[in-house]
Amino acid sequence: MMKDPICEQRLCTGCGACFQVCPQGAVSMLANNEGFLHPHINEGLCNDCGLCTRTCPINKIENVDASVQQKVYACYCRDEDVRAASSSGGVFTQLAMEVLSEGGVVFGAGFDESFSVRHCFVHDADELDSLRRSKYVQSDTGNTFKDVKTFLKEAKKVLYCGTPCQIAGLKAYLNRQTPNLLTCDLACHGVPSPKVWSMYLDFICGMYSSKIASISFRDKSEGWADYRMKIVFRNGKCYSERAKRELFFIGFGKNIFNRKSCFDCKFRLANTKADITLADYWGIDKQEDEKFQDNKGVSLVITHSSAGEEALSKIKEGIYIEERSFDEAVKYNPRLLTSVMEPAKRKSFFDDMY
């Protein structure tokens, strides 16, 4: 008899907690026709312990008041080089550098050799650049939850940055208080299909007759508000296009190739499990204060715990920081609170892609 799904398939985020927690190795993460990872159970290995179902964060949602516990800040890094090379204001880099300086480990989304997006970890500042800057593709968490558990057992400090559902998955996997762990999630618009991303890369490489050397989703050479997709090729050529006119970004902006669960996200601000939420502080440049109008990037930082507040206080010397209101923060960042609607064209897009 076929086993019941770990959670309702349309709500599965692909966080990988079930895969990583299974003591029998009975759960694997396989891509569906749309390119998104979903758990599959090997019935020959499964002993019906139910640990995967109990661990799944979708099965343990807790609603809280989104505005009660948070403090809201506008921040940017005082180091102009760090700020220029960051998607927004450079706060992730500052948090990561602090953890690394204490002998800790930093986890985040990076590109592999084929420019697929995967979670990985770094031990020192020389490796950190690979985890910086936004990557608008769903990352594969792999075995990183297990890695976090190992480092915590070694009494190392750990910073883990990911989407809200990935942080929820990590916390559900650990299932205990972890004082050496600092978690950061993002104001997530939704995660695009890795399969669509791979097809896009094949297309763009064909156009330029070359393999890729580097990718930046958020090149700020013309300013924070007018960011560009920039791809540098090994043959020396460069593709650079404003996000508003760029092929992949247009589809992303219209939510056409987002994961199904993103249209009913259960882990936005009201249900975040993170200590800190990071985002672009869109709309801050509309205020009268000139220090936010230089178009170089401002981070929205929302703390949800004493650990988040403590982490922010440790980096205050390296950042400009100003407390702001919750209402202002969400006014121009609606994805903090609400999911996007599933577009009517999504089904036909994926039907045509199969």
Write down how long the chain is. Answer: 354
Residue ranges per structural domain of the chain: 9-60
Residue 120 is predicted with a pLDDT of 97
Please compute the mean of the pLDDT values over residues 56-62 and round it to a whole number.
89
The helix (run of H) or strand (run of E) holding residue 96 is helix 91-101
**Closest-CA residue to 201 (of 233, 228, 241):** 233
Residue 65 is predicted with a pLDDT of 54
Residue 66 is predicted with a pLDDT of 52
What's the start-to-end Cα distance of the chain, in Å?
29
Q: How confident is the model at residue 186 (pLDDT cuts 50, 70, 90)?
A: very high
Taking CA atoms, 190 is separated from 84, 133, 224, in Å, by 25, 16, 21
Whole-angstrom distance, CA of residue 305 vs CA of residue 300: 16
Nearest 10 degrees: Cα torsion 225, 229, 235, 237: -50
**Closest-CA residue to 269 (of 188, 162, 157):** 188
Residue 289 is predicted with a pLDDT of 73
* 212-219 β-sheet, strand order: 212-219, 228-233, 238-242
Task: Look up residue 263 and give its two tokens.
Answer: 């249209």
Mean pLDDT estimate for the chain: 94
What proportion of the chain, given as a percentage, has pLDDT over 90? 87
Whole-angstrom distance, CA of residue 258 vs CA of residue 342: 9
* Strand pairing report for 181-186 and 117-122: unpaired
pLDDT tens by residue, 3-43: 788 999 999 999 999 999 999 999 999 999 999 999 999 99
Kindly state the DSSP code that residue 339 receives in the 8-state scheme: P
Domain 9-60 adopts which CATH fold?
Alpha-Beta Plaits (3.30.70)
Question: pTM, whole model, 2 decimals?
Answer: 0.95
Residue 64 is predicted with a pLDDT of 61
- CB contact at 8 A, 186 and 163: yes
* Strand pairing report for 181-186 and 276-280: parallel
Residue 291 has pLDDT above 60, yes or no: yes
Kindly state the DSSP code that residue 219 receives in the 8-state scheme: E
pLDDT tens by residue, 191-222: 999 999 999 999 999 999 999 999 999 999 99
Kindly state the DSSP code that residue 222 receives in the 8-state scheme: T
Residue 50 has pLDDT above 70, yes or no: yes
DSSP 149-198: HHHHHTT--EEEE--HHHHHHHHHHH-S--TTEEEEEE-----B-HHHHH
pLDDT tens by residue, 145-157: 999 999 999 999 9
